Amino acid sequence: MTYDYTKRTNYTADVAKMKAAHKILKEQSYKPSLPEKGYNNRTLRIDLTTLTITEEPVDDKMKEIFIGGRGFGLWRLWNSVKPTSTWRSPENTIVISPGPVAGNTQYPGSGKSLVVTLSPLTDIPIDSNVGGYYGPLLKFSGFDAIEITGKAKTDVVVVVDGQKGTITIEEAPLEEVNSHVAAEQFIHEYANDEADMRNVSTVTVGRGGDNCRIGCLNFSWFDVRRKAARLKQAGRGGIGTVFRDKKVKALVVHGPPIKGDMNQPVNHDKVAKAGMRLHREIYENDDKQCHMRRQGTAHLVEIMDAYDLLPVHNFQYGKHPDTPKIASWVWDHRFTQGIPDGCWYGCSMACSKGADGHIVMTGPYKGHVVTVDGPEYETAAGVGANCGIFDPNWVLECNFYCDTYGIDTISFGTSCSFVMECYQRGILNAERTGGFELTWGNGAAQMELMHQMARGEGFGKIAGQGVMRMKRIFAAKGWGDAQFLDDIGMENKGLEYSQYVSKESLAQQGGYALTNKGPQHDEAWLIFMDMVNKQIPTFEAKAEALHYFPLWRTWFGLNGLCKLPWNDVEPPDNQRVNDPMEAAKVPEHIQNYVDIFTGITGRQASREDLITMSQKVYNFQRVFNIRMGKGLRKYDKAPYRSKGPVTVEEYESRAERYDKQIQEVLKVDPRGKSTADKVALLRQYREDQYEKLTDAVYQRRGWTKDGVPTLETLKKLGIDFPEIVEVVKPLLG
Ligand code: SF4
């Protein structure tokens, strides 16, 4: 479908007046530069309390051990906070770093930024991976990372102008806070003209970040065909809440026009050749494999339903008869086709689809005509199926408001489905929710919950605290049994689960909860290898997968890369690789990554070396968690809903499967037993399996039984710095 973009609601009529109202609080000149071999060798630190702007060096140790992206973020955060710091402490720092490979335009998926801070949900470091132009434009303006620390007195905008060579902290009182408006207004204000708009990118949040713990960041890029600001989210862990707590309205970067060699790589040809190989594969195979260019990740909806993995009614079930109403063919029709929707230059996978012409149905923008960025699979599954909502209009509405309010769709979906189940079971009722009828499928109630959340009012204010805190609140009020709430509340470490049912995959249960930041599928997605293809049957094989894949995916975050082009398209002959574990790694693509890393940085590395790079950062992050009072085995426990059926109805919905397991694996005859007895039997078995998996994974990772990296592990990795050893030593006996 084609679309007339002039129909979109315009928010930029008064931008000249808005810009004139800015008050410069601090201005500093600097010398813009381009990176050499992927690095600028300096970071930018903005202290909002003292209004100081400083450049700080990136030394060889930082590059050698922490690489960039998530590694840089963790290291800078470690140096900024104390063990007693909380997410609200002024010294908590938001670090945005794109990584040495980021900004490359030859290889698809090379425009990511990593954001790190102390999370309001988990109280430990969170890292979140995001597209959009901010990170690469920052890099090409001269900085490997930006750190925002301290707290401003009034709402401010931090502007890095890489064309003029200035950095300013400004009051900007008139622009909106909500992202779909703010991004457009700031881009229009700071671009020289329309052609220059693609060189301006913003980071914004929205009112949700002011009033709930699940705030996300929106990174923009200017879509020249739609003439509109598009948004990608650093969604997980409440980073947007920290951003607004610091009173940041926006970060703006105005970078130089983009060219193909701005990383100044050591071997441009090597990088370009790897890119050409992958572009060809995408063009030849995407239509036969994942349809990312037409449907984005929304193509997964019906696949997950077919394998009983789509979360329905707060992860109680894995499929629903109404799934076709929100399946890929619906989104294929709703997304505007024929537009290359890449969230960075050169990404031919172009999966950042947009639904144009959505007429907003509720809230402050009712009646406006907007472009919705998405939905991606996680959004359709989370705010849709998991809440029993199978109307694509409500899914789009919820997606739009999550983004513009700066609320993470995954945490919102899992929180909303949790309160809906509480409503189903009488833990909540209309009196307790202030009049909400939070029944399954009630899209209007879901939206009212969201508007309340963004305003910080009523029951929405409670729901905006996230699942872990809601469980405590409901139990403390005597509304529900604490154990039952723990069983059905899908969070670990305080972070809400992303949208896959993991009950039948022990490896994925570990892939979610045996993580540093909490249950997010960007560390490990092992369900098909484990449950469907049965390629990792033993504890040792699962532990090996839970060693390798989280480290491999960590490496993307060190370098500013998108995971999707790694295995959402595969060379057609990949399945001829004999060893299934090796096939899952997609060896030809791993070689591409070796080529682009070595080609840009000049640092020699084998494919094994890439894993070792991640291992250093991953273990460092584990020690960081311990330093903040967490990071031990008890924090890796998973809610039972992620491991098996909590209730009699859940068991009976898949009775054949569970009875078979009791008969064949537990060697107990299920006949004549009550369902409640069978639920208990299965639970005992599955809890025990999870503990055994935890032992095996810790051993493979070189950790103690309590999950502490041993001195040998730290030494082997070369990260046995005194301040790290000091954290773990008391726990090693
Ligand atoms: S694959 Fe999609 S999300 Fe990843 S970089 Fe490309 S357009 Fe962005």
Q: pLDDT, tens digit, for every residue of 393-430? A: 999 999 999 999 999 999 999 999 999 999 999 999 99
8 A C-beta contact, residue 121 and residue 213: yes
Which of 406, 442, 405, 447 has its CA nearest to residue 424?
A: 442
Beta strand ranges found along 267-374 (DSSP E):
354-359, 369-373
In ligand 1, which atom is closest to the CA atom of 350?
Answer: 7
Strand partners for 52: 47
The rounded distance, in Å, linking the Cα atoms of 558 and 72 is 8
Distance 708 CA to ligand 1 centre (A): 35
Is residue 121 in contact with ligand 1, taking CB distance under 6 Å? no
The rounded distance, in Å, linking the Cα atoms of 138 and 722 is 33
Below-70 pLDDT ranges, the chain: 1-2
Which of 487, 536, 514, 475 has its CA nearest to residue 694?
A: 514
Distance 293 CA to ligand 1 centre (A): 10
8 A C-beta contact, residue 394 and residue 386: no
Give the residue, out of 114, 347, 568, with the most ligand 1 atoms within 8 A of its beta carbon, to mutate for a pocket test.
347
Distance 569 CA to ligand 1 centre (A): 12
Distance 302 CA to ligand 1 centre (A): 21
Which of 587, 585, 605 has its CA nearest to residue 595?
A: 605
Q: What is the pLDDT of residue 706?
A: 98
Is residue 392 in contact with ligand 1, taking CB distance under 6 Å? no
Is residue 724 in contact with ligand 1, taking CB distance under 6 Å? no
The rounded distance, in Å, linking the Cα atoms of 234 and 216 is 6
Residues ≥6 apart with Cβ < 8 Å to 152: 48, 49, 169, 246, 247, 248
Amino acid at 307: Y
The rounded distance, in Å, linking the Cα atoms of 160 and 34 is 14
Distance 136 CA to ligand 1 centre (A): 14
Distance 351 CA to ligand 1 centre (A): 5
8 A C-beta contact, residue 659 and residue 670: yes
Instruction: Name the packing angle between helices 392-405 and 179-190 (round to 10°).
Output: 50
In ligand 1, which atom is closest to the CA atom of 131?
Answer: 8
Give start and end residues of each alpha helix (H) in 523-576: 527, 539-559, 564-567
Three-class SS of residue 298?
Answer: helix
Give the residue, out of 299, 335, 344, with the most ligand 1 atoms within 8 A of its beta carbon, to mutate for a pocket test.
344
* Average pLDDT for the chain: 97
Amino acid at 588: E
Is residue 561 in contact with ligand 1, taking CB distance under 6 Å? no
Three-class SS of residue 497?
Answer: coil
Q: What is the pLDDT of residue 2?
A: 65
Sign of CA dihedral 222, 223, 227, 230: negative
Is residue 278 in contact with ligand 1, taking CB distance under 6 Å? no
Distance 345 CA to ligand 1 centre (A): 10
Amino acid at 365: Y
Query: Phi/psi of residue 471, each to 5°?
Result: -55, -45
Q: What is the pLDDT of residue 4?
A: 86
Q: Residue 137: which region, alpha, beta or left (left: phi > 0; alpha: psi -120 to 50)? A: alpha
8 A C-beta contact, residue 628 and residue 686: no
Distance 339 CA to ligand 1 centre (A): 14
Is residue 349 in contact with ligand 1, taking CB distance under 6 Å? yes
The rounded distance, in Å, linking the Cα atoms of 424 and 79 is 46
Residue 96: both structure tokens together: 């945005």
